[in-house]
A and B are shown apart, each in its own frame.
Chain A
Amino acid sequence: MTTVNPASPASPASRAGRAGRVNRTNWPLTIVLGLATLTVLVPLYVTLSMAFKTSTQSADGNAFSLPEPFNPASFAEAWELTRFPVSFAVSLAVAALAVVLTLLLSSLAAYAIARNWSHRFFRWSMIYLLVALFLPFPVVALPQIQLTALTSLDNPIGVGILHAMFQLSFSVLLYTAYLRSIPIELEESARIDGASTGQIFWRIILPLLGPMNATVGIFAFLASWNDFMMPSLIMSDPALQTLPVVQNIFQSQFGTNYNVAFASYLMAMAPTIIAYLFAQRWVISGVTQGAVKH
């Protein structure tokens, strides 16, 4: 099948290349892709090297030089200035709340919708929830700022809830699609054995949703952990701000201490990058799952 078609000398390169029967590596393409990774690696390298420079060297205009001398002291300063433990903990709490709420609310809702699709109420509920898929946060931001202030939710809890709200549409969509592929016979036999719908959900459906839980959870976590807009607008107490938001102190007060700013950026970026590098197979398959599920 893979013998070269004489009419088409270009065909070795033209096949999709997953068959692997002709194992000729396309080196030019590999090199081009390798060079393309510089667009990702250079900004990360600059962050890393700047973070370890002295403040004099960080202001010399050459961002690409190696730290000389090596100066890890910037991290202590950045740690203090951003109150790292506090902002890290707040970020984590907000993201955890967003993930738990998203998983719980959207899996339950999607289960109810998927199993009662023939009823108008459930069908329309789905469409109602999907509205937010096309609703950008800025549209509702001002009333939300007022409402959260009125209800004393202008804090990490309120931000966690709002993050979950903006994940709902997408998550319900993913869950419903996935649930349609789970054979209903499983549930029916459990029902004959006397299991209630609640038990069926907790014991059978939720475990079966495993891969989709990972997908929905990863999306919800990244969206919440990395967000700047919502916490910066909703939270009234600057002492309880999230990690991305506290980075703005370096834009004004510490104008030339680039090394401290970059040490802080590095501390803000590192947790997710490290987690991703360790769990990258999960993350990638989780996100891919979200794309292919039908």
Chain B
Amino acid sequence: MTAHATLSLPTAEEAGPPSRRPAGGRRVEPVYYLFLVPTLLVFTAFVVVPALIGVFYSLTDYVGFGRWSFLGLRNYAALFTDPRMLESYGFTLGFALVTVVVAQVIALALAVALSRRIRFATTLRTVFVIPMVVSGIVVAYVFNFLFSNSLPAIATAVGFGPLEESILGNPDLAWLSIVIVSAWQTIPGALLVYTAGLTSIPNELYEASALDGASPWRQFRSVTVPLIAGFILINTILGVKGYLGVYDVIVGLTGGGPGTATSSVAMTIFSGFTGGDYAYQMANATVFLIVTALISVAQIVATRGRAVKL
């Protein structure tokens, strides 16, 4: 499973065969370098070099072209006092947190429900997975129409005041539309991962705990959750990472508005290309990278040792 694979890499290194073989140990056949090095080179050229260039320019006053000079950490200092920045980080982190909880809870509930004695399980699952294969921006356009036309029409018809105006135009509610569409789109992937996790739990465990008088909820808490903790972890980590980079869905729904109420960090960074504050946005991107990495590491550390392996 990917979660275990991810997490076991460093441990495999410690526990595996002695890493530093004595001189004269097995030599690596040169062809293996031929297999690996091209990938490393392309990866370096297209991902690592741009990242380093970005970090470098974040220390300058570069505007995207022409001459530049060093500023040191001044861009970073400015970042932490810029209300627009704080707002975009607040929005993005809050959005990611809410969405990951909503999406994971629904995905896990659906996976558990689909594993019960129900009819049409395959058909139901087929339908639930459809959102995985459609483009986020197109889905967002469709929901944009539903939120701005259909939902207010329904609310007006039933006389429900708060929703008579489009939620997309409401600075306090617009973020909800982004949560809904993002969750809609990412639940299927998580659902499939959880389904795989549930299949790996031997039925005897449920039978044994049922004999001990465990309630369904107790079984869920004491059997299911610990045994699929690795799956929860990988879903959460990948989910949060994806939500932190949210862009397509926002473009399709609110365009970051009303005002800047739903401007994610990604959108703010991209504004650097047209807005003339290239170097400043690269400082922003660097901070964003650190924040993303820290959150991922924190998730791994916080859940380490919680997963039960069979």
Rounded to whole Å, the gap between the CB of B208 and the closest CB of chain A is 10
For the complex, count residues of B whose C-beta is within 8 A of A.
117
Residues on A with C-beta less than 8 A from B252 are 228
Residues from chain B with a CB closer than 8 A to the CB of A32 are 113
Task: Kindly identify which residue among A15, A24, A29, A121 contacts B203, using a CB–CB cutoff of 8 Å.
Answer: A15
A155 at the B interface (CB under 8 A): no
Give the residues in chain B near A125, CB-CB below 8 Å. 36, 40
Is B302 an interface position by the 8 A CB rule? Answer: no
Point out the residue from B142, B192, B245 that lies within 8 Å of A284, measured CB to CB: B192
Instruction: Please determine whether A269 and B134 come into contact, CB atoms closer than 8 angstroms.
Output: yes
Q: Is A184 an interface residue (CB 8 A)?
A: no
Q: Please, how many angstroms separate the alpha-carbon atoms of A29 and B220 in the complex?
A: 16
Point out the residues of chain B lying under 8 angstroms from A135, CB to CB: 47, 51, 289, 292
Return the chain A residue nearest B25 by Cβ.
A118
| Minimum C-beta distance from B57 to chain A (A) | 8
Q: Is the CB of A247 within 8 A of B138?
A: yes
B225 at the A interface (CB under 8 A): no
Q: Which residues of A contact B248 (CB under 8 A)?
A: 227-229, 244
Q: Say whether B40 contacts A108, CB under 8 Å.
A: no
Q: How far is the CB of B256 from chain A (nearest CB, A)?
A: 13
Chain B binding surface SS class: helix
| Cβ-defined contact, A5 with B210, below 8 A | yes
Give per-residue flags for A139-172: 1 if the beta carbon is below 8 A from chain B beta carbons, else 0.
1111111110000000000000110011010001
Interface flags for B40-51 (1: CB within 8 Å of A; 0: not) read: 101100111111
Closest Cβ–Cβ distance, residue B280 to chain A (whole Å) = 11
Q: B113 contacts A25, CB within 8 Å?
A: no
Is A173's CB under 8 angstroms from B5's CB? yes
Among candidates A129, A143, A244, A283, residue contacting B39 with C-beta atoms closer than 8 Å:
A129
> How long is the Cα–Cα vector from A16 to B219 in the complex, in angstroms?
9
B40 touches A129 (CB 8 A): yes
Within the complex, the shortest CB–CB distance from A245 to chain B, in Å, comes to 8
Shortest CB–CB separation between residue B253 and chain A, in angstroms? 11
Q: Does B86 contact A (CB under 8 A)?
A: no
A265 at the interface (CB under 8 A from B): yes
Q: Given contacts A284-B129, A284-B192, are A265 and B210 in contact (CB under 8 A)?
A: no
Residues 6-46 (chain A) with a chain B CB within 8 angstroms: 7-8, 10-11, 13-20, 22-27, 29-30, 32-34, 36-37, 39-41, 43-44, 46
* Contact between chains at B138 and A139 (CB < 8 Å): no
Question: Is B160 at the interface (CB under 8 A from chain A)?
Answer: no
**Hey, which chain A residues are within 8 Å of B51, CB to CB?**
135, 139-140, 143
13 more A-B residue pairs beyond the given contacts A61-B150, A115-B32, A283-B129, with a C-beta to C-beta distance below 8 A: A33-B118, A34-B120, A64-B150, A105-B39, A108-B36, A132-B47, A136-B244, A136-B245, A265-B141, A276-B130, A288-B192, A292-B1, A292-B197
Closest 6 interchain pairs by CB?
A: A143-B50, A136-B245, A226-B135, A138-B266, A228-B137, A112-B35
Query: Chain A: residues with CB nearer than 8 A to chain B?
Result: 1-2, 5, 7-8, 10-11, 13-20, 22-27, 29-30, 32-34, 36-37, 39-41, 43-44, 46-47, 50, 61-64, 105-106, 108-109, 111-113, 115-123, 125-147, 161-162, 165-166, 168, 172-174, 176-177, 196-198, 201, 222, 225-229, 233, 243-245, 247-248, 250-251, 258, 261-262, 265, 268-269, 272-273, 275-277, 280, 283-284, 287-288, 290-294
